[in-house]
Structure 1
Amino acid sequence: MNQHPAQNFKLTTEPIEQLKGRDQAIVVSLVLNSETVSVERFGAVRKLFVMLRGQALFFDFKSMTVLRSYPVSFGYVDNLDHEPTQAEVLDRVRMVYDGANGKPGLYARFASAIGDAKLPDQAPRYLQVVHVDVTPEAAAVLPDYLKATPTSAQTWAADMVSEAISTRIGVPVIPYSKGHAIGNVMSMQVMDGTVFNLTLPKPDYEIDVTLKNFKKIKYSENAVGTAYIYGSYADISIREPLTGATYLNTSLKNGEVKPVPASQTWVDDFPAYYDSINGLFVKLSEAIAGKDDSWVKSAASASDITSQIDKTTGLMKLCK
């Protein structure tokens, strides 16, 4: 936090108990809402995957109401020739917090989000992924850890969309709450064991997402190896529930090329599928943020996609 000081407010680290009784106090916390530790077996190889997803969450301590939320995440993959020990798993979890291979970990990403965050100086407008559908065709390629509960895949997809929008456009996004919040109240337990029940505001703009399908297509082949295109297909819409106005409503497709050396005896397809679907939402968010829109023009089914992107860009400015 000292290396990435907040630009728009002053932070203090006094104990949270001292906030009781104050007329106004805003708290920011690193809230972890998803943890994945998975071991998959491919012949003699053990693939260890660790992923943590969370939020830089601002809330009003007096009213216990969420004010802003910026999604953060980091994952680490390792391949071992043996079953990972508990110590090896914990070591990789530590890497997810601290960073690895020159990439910032969860702590640094949290600090970066706080450094750039803004607190609303007027009545804020809220954005949230409210509905996610994963078709049976799309679910068929997902790993087992994304099928552990009825909402695992939906939460994974919602977090991916929320983070792409938040990081690329620079807007807060209310956490996806299906399966975690009842009556729009989210329960949060802090490190000392205290439990806070935080009220999630109703979104002014709702995002619906459908993961429709994934496809793997051979692109080229030679003596060195084979290249495949991993394609992903999704629908996304953004609407204002109060008025019924729709800002974005289109199908999208994205392909990423992955070379596979001839010497490789097994191929884990899911990381390539992940790059493809995550890239789809990242590229869409970058187009909304005003960057190159050539991809979205070719990837979207909507004939008026340029007009839709312009309207969505204006909407996002209201949410900052």
Structure 2
Amino acid sequence: MRYTQGFVSFPDYFQRRTRIQNILLLLLAAFWFIASPAYASKPVVYFAGVSFLGDHRFIDTNYPVATALNKATPEQPQAALDKAFFELLSAQSATLPLLLSRNLANYKSGPAIAMTLAIERESISIETFEDYRKVVAEISAQVLFFDFQAMRLIASIPVDIARNDVINLNASLDKARTDNLTALYQPTSNADNSLLSVASGHIRQFGLPKEGVLRFKVHAVNIGEKASPLVPERVQHDALAQVFGQYFTAQLTHLGGLNMIPYTKGYAIGNKMAGRMANGDVYTLTLPEADYVFTVDISNFKHIAQPNKHLFASRVKFTAKEATRSDAMLDDYFHAAVAKLVSDKQTYIDDWAAYEDALETVLSELAQQLSAPEKKWFDNHSQLKRRTYNTFRKWSEHINGL
């Protein structure tokens, strides 16, 4: 017989005690989780979706595929790319260096950090052979982190992705453009085959810069007098400078390990960068000032024909200096060449596509050398060889020591 007069029975007492202990343990575990360094060190970042850089009046013209994919409808009020990107990041939340939040009713209010995947370029290039065409689709974007109260850029991650396709000579070029760009935007089971999955991969390896960290910027990309005649008439010089300014910025970020400010010529005025959200809201971000600036002068292209193979070379002048000084810290000419096999069935050799490959090669290798100079590379690819190697080595030691 249980003794209960004036007291809680022993079984009830222990059951209640056990429940209280469980609650306390849960609260303690929750407190430990929130207070743990891995959790506490993660900043809260508000998800602002996919946006488009440039003058809002020309967004639909500049990004026809992305804007068509990312339009909200009464049946689907949440824009498709916004939804897919948020779900992809949420599924990887344990490995992200940030705490992602969707509670952003108005991205212009509140003292917090916001993030948008800002598309900056859609492009298609086509190379014609005897019985088919080769199609290359490319997308460039920036993952922008910004203070949405001050509308000030905090950091950015360049993102690039490309896709090759083959179509027959009678196929619609408009359809090839739409199909290939759509494939780059939409993720499938392959983790590396879409803009969204590549962007999420970069975010997982990213950390917001600390206050006072050095900032770098590609100030200008110029087309020299010898190179200019070799640029096809269909390629505008301003567009070419924008493409390779963005490309070099991406290489300096991912290969050089530098905290880069986006290359903004073509969609920014002064230190203001404009864009448009999927819901039509227009935004303008203030860019931070750079501590160091880079200039690239595309000086020349060269084509050397050999049996069954052609060599295409690009030569650039690269200059680096402190933003507040006129004298250069780094200044030399660099070159690189790529080989292109020629098929008997190829009716047309696209010199320009090969020149672009050579230009990408010299810029990507240059970005690597800024981080870890190799004497042999300078012997083969720079004009002043050892002298330039020594200045790059001193630069690397100086920047890494700050």
Name 1:229's counterpart in structure 2. Answer: 311
Residues 269-284 of structure 1 mapped to structure 2, 5 A cutoff: 269-284=351-366
Letter in 1 for 2:163: Y
Name 2:26's counterpart in structure 1. Answer: none
CA distance in 2, matches of 1:10, 1:298: 43
Work out whether 1:254 is the aligned partner of 2:363. Answer: no
CA distance in 2, matches of 1:281, 1:37: 21
Work out whether 1:97 is the aligned partner of 2:147. Answer: no
1:245-298 deviations in Å (ceiling 9; x for gaps): 533211001111122133433222233222211111111222222265522332
* SS of residue matched to 2:101: coil
1:218 alignment partner, one of 298, 305, 324? 305
Deviation at 1:231, TM superposition (A): 0.8
Deviation at 1:197, TM superposition (A): 0.9
Name 1:309's counterpart in structure 2. Answer: 392
Compare 137-146 and 58-67 and name the one that shifted more: 137-146
Counterparts in 2 of 1:295 and 1:98: CA distance versus 1, 3 Å: farther
Compare 167-176 and 192-201 and name the one that shifted more: 167-176
CA distance in 1, matches of 2:123, 2:365: 25
1:128 alignment partner, one of 217, 229, 243? 217
Q: Which runs of 5+ in 1 are unaligned?
A: none
CA distance in 2, matches of 1:54, 1:141: 28
Work out whether 1:298 is the aligned partner of 2:380. Answer: yes
Q: Decide which structure has greater strand share.
A: 1
CA distance in 2, matches of 1:143, 1:50: 19
Letter in 2 for 1:35: E
Counterparts in 2 of 1:38 and 1:273: CA distance versus 1, 3 Å: closer
* SS of residue matched to 2:383: coil
Q: Decide which structure has greater helix share.
A: 2
Work out whether 1:13 is the aligned partner of 2:136. Answer: no
Letter in 1 for 2:181: V
Counterparts in 2 of 1:151 and 1:190: CA distance versus 1, 3 Å: same
TM-score (norm 2): 0.69
TM-score (norm 1): 0.86
Identity of aligned residues (%): 23
Letter in 1 for 2:183: M
Name 2:370's counterpart in structure 1. Answer: 288
2:197 alignment partner, one of 91, 98, 108? 108
Counterparts in 2 of 1:259 and 1:161: CA distance versus 1, 3 Å: same
Over aligned residue pairs, what C-alpha RMSD do you find?
2.8
Name 1:66's counterpart in structure 2. Answer: 153
Counterparts in 2 of 1:79 and 1:133: CA distance versus 1, 3 Å: same
Rg bigger for which structure?
Answer: 2
Letter in 2 for 1:260: V
Q: Is the Cα contact below 8 Å between 1:146 and 1:156 reproduced in 2? A: no
Name 1:202's counterpart in structure 2. Answer: 289
Letter in 1 for 2:340: K
Total equivalences in the alignment: 311
* SS of residue matched to 1:146: coil
Letter in 2 for 1:166: T
Q: Which runs of 5+ in 2 are unaligned?
A: 1-88
Q: Is the Cα contact below 8 Å between 1:287 and 1:293 reproduced in 2? A: no
* SS of residue matched to 2:263: coil
